[in-house]
Structure 1
């Protein structure tokens, strides 16, 4: 769901992003698929079809949209090879690779939280 740019909610989000780098970062990587794509690309460069196969529940349209967003945010780079058929590969940029330790920490935190929550 896209927030209307003239809404109070949108203004609040932008103000929080400007004043708090943590909120900026979370908003950048939030959403259902961006962290999954980062997780897949942590192994290295992958083709579109390889990404799609690693995430069978994402539609091709949604994967394309998310990859475009990630490229615009400079989290990934895209390389198109002039071949028939065309080959496109994606990989984390240097700033995108800096997310890998964050992903590891989120993974550990998530496992710990699930375990704690299941105990109650």
Structure 2
């Protein structure tokens, strides 16, 4: 994103580590497999990125909170990126499901706490 080249040994290290993620690594866009996959895709390592996307699709991400960093909003955005890149229906369907679930969670929260969940900055928490 900064325009500086990334040394190949750093990219190779990330690819290697991505193949060795612990089971509790999470799927988050900011702190998990989708963030790593997105970065790998930007670095030109689509094969490694798509492998992580397959792992995310197999996880139970549907139970996450609504947040961007480690929740459904981030899962939806990350999967939408890969649906656009690949034309694959699986990440697109999952991205739409993540959006629907996040909207439901936000609506439930707004119903429990009238006056919350509206206005600037609403729904920014995880």
Larger Rg, first or second structure (1 or 2)? 1
In the superposition, the TM-score normalised over structure 2's length comes to: 0.30
In the superposition, the TM-score normalised over structure 1's length comes to: 0.31
